[in-house]
Structure 1
């Protein structure tokens, strides 16, 4: 392998590593934004909002409110069996996809960096 071919291969691996790292960063930012949206949609609300979302009127108070940080959940329950989650149903699946993107992109960035190191050693 000529020196110029070896250098271009190493540069290509370096570019791939940077692209995967950038992808991991973007996925992490998306995950943080989604988590903030979910937290603000449920955790900062009171029982009055639960009652309105359940269609019970602002005066009705739930018997219990259950919160979970992961998966994000803010469930209000009434004695008649009615329950409502203030965190949108689409949010947790998108959060899982973003977190998976962080893991996959990070692993591929490390793989590309190790491949580049291996190529530089064999020059």
Structure 2
């Protein structure tokens, strides 16, 4: 069964294939190689993900795209940057990038309150 994708996701997928897929050579797929050249199935498809190698090995490299496509029911939206991410805990509010920034801000605020409370 093919996983449905949008045209915008298709563009990102094709860029990801050209950049990271080790079986993609000059528009052809080495996994399908039987002596003749075969076009990469994933590059020519616009409406779904058909290549299992791509789905399992290449797609997880782009975590935001992976979250959009593979786990639409389990994804959350970051409260700061509004991008989608797959949470590691059920109460996680921020994507990993924003979480680090937010953690520093909270720690600084906590230290300010602690210093202000000292006599």
TM over 0.5: no
Give the TM-score taking structure 2 as reference length: 0.37
TM-score between the two structures when normalised by the length of structure 1: 0.36
Query: Higher relative contact order at CA 8 Å, sep ≥6: structure 1 or structure 2?
Result: 1
- Give 1 or 2 for the bigger CA radius of gyration: 1
More helix by share: 1
